[in-house]
A and B are shown apart, each in its own frame.
Chain A
Amino acid sequence: MLEIQGLTRRFGAVVAVDAVSLAVPAGQMLGIIGRSGAGKSTLLRLVNRLAEPSAGRVLFEGREITRLRGRALREWRRDCAMIFQQFNLVQRLDVLTNVLLGRLGHHRGIGAALAVLFGHFTAAERAMALAALDRFGLVETALQRAGTLSGGQQQRVAICRALLQQPRLILADEPIASLDPRNAQLVMEALRQVNRQEGITVLVNLHHLDTAREYCTRIVAMQAGRVVFDGLPAELTAERVRRIYGITEEEFEAEARARAAPCAAAMA
């Protein structure tokens, strides 16, 4: 159970996330939708503490995440893997090493830390990484440089990296915004698969309402940092969308596409 209580983040005068409160039971696949600047990305970054909150707190199974420091914070980040819009792989390293980076949070002690700095991962970890790659049909690319892969492949490599963390939670920040429809579908299906098979809770930011309705078991809509809708996918009707955002669903998606297009072009 992930609990977000009155979470607020200000950037100067701008309130990116405004007193958001949510309770996410384990195993849920939660879609967060909203227009650009609604605070979706900041919300996810607050959960794994890549950003610090101005007020409010985050609890996971009763433990206060917003207070963690040092080793405990790194262990929390290990337990809630993050998927990024731009994949955030190390482009110059091979795919296998990129996936193995998911194990960093599991190493303990000076000896292991030094071995890792020289690029040494155990045979068991390598086998795990290859199994993860195999699961998503990427094992042939294991020794290629990550930068040579297509966007869709890179995002699935990022999911493999996330799985090697053996996380309780996956935070996916616009995972398909830079991908074509075919690859978007593959990535969403990969997320659904890990949600259903491993029971990992997934929080996914989306701007495509149909995708959210199709894959998520619950949808939260944000507007100007606030939660303006929280319910089942079926309850988010076109009429509801128009009332929340003041524009039709078609306009909403056209706007999202226009925003994603430059990113997709940059990736090509």
Chain B
Amino acid sequence: MSEAHPATLLAGLPRIGEYFHRILPTLRWEALFAGSETEGSLAFWFYRLDAWAWLLFETANMAALATLMGAAAALLLAFPAAHNLGAGTLAYQLSRRSLEAARTVPEIVFALILVWAFGVGALAGILAIALHTAGALGKLFAEAIENTEMGAWDGVRATGGNWAEACRFAILPQALPNLLSYALLRFEVNLRSASVIGFVGAGGIGEELYKVISFNYYEEISAIILLVILAVAAIDLFSENLRHRVIGALGGAA
């Protein structure tokens, strides 16, 4: 609290506006659709679009792969971590605590460690996001599992099915639409994370963003941020659509 003086706030507020003003591109109406050599055109603003598009594609791939890996780990850990399935105290505590540890540590911290281990590149970023995703999704998955009807569980247990079979046949079909929905939401979150994680050298468009911010290439900052916003919006629309279709296909009368 010690640094939060109202005077500092007042002095700093206009500077936020100033920064935004600086990163805005200077566009000239008559030259808007001219080539990348003409100052004031869109092409001039996005003069590195090819490189950025490739980096953005890499970022989306990182997010997709990390979501997939994280969701797979979360799925395995969520069953022992759901208190209604009675996995035994040891398995319950182990899965709960490891999920907690995985989601308490921010991605960027995991990324710092993994960059040190695996070197600069996308691998460190993917693993870092996957780890955090496993923790965050695992808790949501466990809660979805705890909300399922236990009648089917008794039914499968009473046939002589073991614990894993009861999870697979009694619980998974009930929880699956929820799990998919959570995983797709997480994909959107992870795209944002993947855009930032490059700040510590873990791949994706974040490295480029960090570079242009630190070199004060003002116009390029706004160009990259705009691209990231567009990509997130596109994935938002896509996953919303997919989610409704998945729920529609799995939902039905039940």
Which residues does A use to contact B, with CB under 8 Å? 48, 50, 74-79, 81-82, 84, 86-93, 97, 101-102, 104-106, 113, 116-117, 145, 147-148, 158, 161-162, 165
**One of B22-30, B104-112, B154-162, B212-220 contacting the partner:** B154-162
Residues of B within 8 A of A87 (CB): 151, 155
Interface membership of B97, Cβ < 8 A: no
Query: Which of A82, A86, A117 contacts B158, CB < 8 Å?
Result: A82
Q: Which of B118-126, B167-175, B237-245 contacts A (4 or more CB under 8 A)?
A: B167-175
Find the B residue at minimum CB distance from A103: B159
What are the 4 tightest A-B residue pairs by CB atom distance, in nearest-first order? A105-B160, A78-B160, A88-B155, A104-B161
B157 & A77 in contact (Cβ 8 Å cutoff): yes
Q: Is B160's CB under 8 angstroms from A88's CB?
A: no
State whether A93 and B173 are in contact (beta carbons under 8 Å apart), knowing that A88-B155, A116-B165, A145-B253 are contacts in the complex. Answer: yes
- Write out the residue numbers on chain B whose beta carbons fall within 8 Å of the beta carbon of A145: 252-254
- Summed over the interface, the residue pairs from A and B with CB atoms below 8 Å come to a total of 94
Q: When the two chains form their complex, are residues A117 and B168 in contact, meaning their CB atoms are under 8 A apart?
A: yes
Task: Report if A88-B152 is in contact (Cβ < 8 Å); known contacts: A82-B158, A116-B165.
Answer: yes
Interface centre among A50, A102, A165 (most CB of B within 10 A): A102
A97 — which chain B residues lie within 8 A by C-beta?
169
Shortest CB-to-CB span from A104 to chain B, Å, is 4
Contact among B152, B154, B176 for A91, CB-based, below 8 A: B152
Flag if B157 contacts A92 (CB, 8 Å): no
Contacts A91-B254, A93-B169, A145-B252; A74 near B162 (Cβ below 8 A): yes
Q: Is B51 an interface residue (CB 8 A)?
A: no
Listed residue (A75, A84, A101, A106) with the most chain B CB atoms within 10 angstroms of its CB: A101
7 A-B interface contacts by CB (under 8 A): A77-B159, A91-B149, A91-B174, A104-B161, A113-B164, A145-B254, A161-B159
Of chain B, the residue at the smallest CB distance from A79 is B160
Majority secondary structure, B binding face: helix
On whether A104 and B160 interact (CB within 8 A), knowing A84-B151, A92-B174, the answer reads yes
Q: Hey, which bits of chain B sit against chain A, CB under 8 A? A: 149, 151-152, 154-162, 164-165, 168-170, 173-174, 176, 250, 252-254
Does B157 contact A147, Cβ atoms closer than 8 Å?
no
Residue of A nearest to B175 (CB): A92
- Taking CB atoms, residues of chain B closer than 8 Å to A113 are 162, 164-165
Cα distance, A256 to B159, chains bound together (Å): 28
A116 to B172, CA, bound (A): 14
Q: A104-B165, A147-B253, A147-B254 are in contact. Are A90 and B156 (CB under 8 A)?
A: yes
CA A164 – CA B7 in complex, angstroms? 78
| Chain B residue with the shortest CB-CB distance to A118 | B168
Contact status B162-A101, CB under 8 Å:
no
B165 engages A90 (CB within 8 Å): no
Q: A75 CA to B160 CA in the complex, in Å?
A: 6
Do residues A101 and B252 form an inter-chain contact, with CB atoms below 8 A? no
Q: Whole-angstrom distance from the CB of A69 to the nearest CB of chain B?
A: 13
Residues of B within 8 A of A106 (CB): 160
A83 vs B252: C-alpha distance in the bound complex, in angstroms? 26
Q: Which of A74, A75, A97 has the most CB of B within 10 A?
A: A74
Q: Which residues of A contact B174 (CB under 8 A)?
A: 90-92
CA separation between A217 and B168, bound complex, in Å? 39
Given the complex of chains A and B, what is the CA–CA distance between A29 and B93 in angstroms?
Answer: 45
A135 to B169, CA, bound (A): 25
* Nearest neighbor of B152 in chain A, beta-carbon distance: A90
Q: Write the chain B residue with the least CB distance to A116.
A: B165
Q: How far, in angstroms, from A229 to B154 measured CA to CA in the complex?
A: 30
Q: Which of A77, A93, A147, A158 contacts B160 (CB 8 A)?
A: A77
Cross-chain contact A84 with B155 (CB below 8 angstroms): yes
What's the least CB distance linking B174 to chain A, in Å?
6
CB distance from B87 to the nearest CB of A (A): 15
Q: Known contacts A92-B250, A93-B173, A117-B165; decide if A78 and B152 are in contact (CB<8 Å).
A: no
Q: How far is the CB of A94 from chain B (nearest CB, A)?
A: 10
Contact partners of A147 in chain B: CB under 8 A = 252-254
Contacts A101-B169, A145-B252, A147-B254; is A90 near B160 (CB within 8 Å)? no
> What is the CA–CA distance of A34 and B158 in the complex, to the nearest angstrom?
23
Do A165 and B159 touch across chains, with their CB atoms under 8 A apart?
yes
B159: contacting residue among A86, A92, A93, A101, CB under 8 A: A101
CB-CB nearest in chain B for A82: B158
Give the most central of A76, A93, A106: most B CB within 10 Å: A93
Inter-subunit contact B159/A105 (CB<8 Å): yes
Nearest chain A CB to B80's CB is how many angstroms away?
16
